[in-house]
Structure 1
């Protein structure tokens, strides 16, 4: 017990105290420029829920989180299944696909602003392939910007999901798989009735992590679009960042509390849903 005291102390100072103090400051008119802080109750939250920008940011956050979670985990499973086979050079490809997840999100974001620029590498590639009609302003078009940033996020983090699923696949008994082959099952039957039920706990963890991470997204969006164009990629964290930048500290803190509670509620509901799926398997 004594050995975990230092870790608990760090956790309390760097996480618990800021979290609870954030709840308190959201109920005040707090500003670092004021000599005294006045308790105002839920006034900040009333103003927040009367702000159209908050609803738009939450809508984009949910869309972004759902798309990232589905695509990241779908691609992660496919890569893990492929690289769990006897493919030549599989260790090289495992490292290659995992590499983006250890890069800074800001570095990835700023890199893709040049890749997805109207005169960037991606459009140049489309022109070279004779697909000039497909060229777009991927980050400057309000209809495409959110989906473009989603693809960038999936590109960075699919390798992390792949690593989780790969670890789960390598924990499956070879004897069990060999027995199912002897029983005459097809690959798809083994995938459906043997592999995926055993992988269910890993799926729960990976889906939960990707959902939480994408709902808290900031760096990628800040580096690529800054929440634009015209608020088309505004998510909760960029919305909160702009409130603090405007000097609305208590208002921004209230928005942060809303995000915290939203992530917590969605995570708990998702975990219960996924656990029921595991039981059903």
Structure 2
């Protein structure tokens, strides 16, 4: 009797989580899969028409999709590498105990507290043809004409990547700093007595101990890179000439500008697929290590 009562109480406590999972994860995912086989302009459910694999076939003929595919992978690779390297270096500086580390930590972490929308607007203003960065370069006589950071197809995506790295370096730094607090001092002292250099200590002692932290930060960066939307949309909206589209911005454009809900659902499935594959690979590598 007591066991049954305990089971009921446990079910009641888990019910909100079950409802949340069904309402915000499972049902939307299944709805997305269903819509990917339809042609629907949205708003009116009566207009849904089954289209089979047409949306999937159109995806492989879509040049803009392949641009967004290339850009998304570029975004994931560059941000993941940069954030982990800069995060570890920043954490090492804080952990070294040099002066003004508290100020350094606060300054680096401050952008994490801001919304990506605010970050996007701020950098868009600063990088404008008449913004503070171009004016600064003019004052140093480095340039004679404004650099179109967000208006040049060659640099627009990398500009957004730079703003993203600037915002989230502090987050990775905090994770690495927390990991460094768990490195046994005895190991470092023993290695120092044995004559190991600082570089050798970092490579052969600290980094192996930090492998769980590295796995977590890389997983967060990879998944975050695959679903990035807000800062890209605010700064470039996928332009100029579709050159900076990523999966999420192209999905948004397809769904809400061109009213192609079925086609947008196919792009959403691609995002889910790559995020899942990346997570599985990274976790498997981390488990093997």
TM-score by length of 2: 0.90
Residue aligning to 2:71 = 60
Residue 217 of structure 1, aligned match among 198, 209, 228: 228
Structure 2 portions without partners, runs of 5+? 1-9
| Inter-partner Cα distance in structure 1 for 2:286 and 2:144 | 42
Residue aligning to 2:277 = 265
Runs of 4+ in 1 over 6 A off after TM superposition: none
Residue aligning to 2:265 = 253
Pairs within 5 Å for 1:3-152: 3-30=13-40, 31-132=42-143, 136-152=147-163
Q: Is 2:165 aligned against 1:157?
A: no
> Does structure 2 conserve the Cα–Cα contact (< 8 Å) formed by 1:54 and 1:239?
yes
Q: Is 2:211 aligned against 1:200?
A: yes
| Inter-partner Cα distance in structure 2 for 1:4 and 1:93 | 42
Q: Secondary structure at the match of 1:17?
A: helix
Pairs within 5 Å for 1:165-184: 165-184=176-195
CA offset digits 1:63-111 (Å, max 9, x no partner): 1111111111111111011111111122222122111112110110011
CA offset digits 1:120-153 (Å, max 9, x no partner): 1112222333422696211111111111111000
| Inter-partner Cα distance in structure 2 for 1:137 and 1:55 | 24
User: Which one has a bigger Cα radius of gyration?
Assistant: 2
TM-score by length of 1: 0.93
| Inter-partner Cα distance in structure 2 for 1:142 and 1:164 | 34
| Inter-partner Cα distance in structure 2 for 1:36 and 1:144 | 41
- Please give the root-mean-square deviation of Cα atoms over the aligned residues, in Å: 1.7
Q: Secondary structure at the match of 1:23?
A: helix
Say if 1:131 and 1:39 are closer, same or farther in 2 by CA, change over 3 A: same
Offset of 1:11 from its aligned partner? 2.1
| Inter-partner Cα distance in structure 2 for 1:228 and 1:36 | 31
Q: Is 2:201 aligned against 1:190?
A: yes
| Inter-partner Cα distance in structure 2 for 1:134 and 1:180 | 54
Q: Secondary structure at the match of 1:41?
A: coil
Structure 1 portions without partners, runs of 5+? none
The farther-off stretch of 29-38 and 243-252 is 29-38
Offset of 1:257 from its aligned partner? 1.1
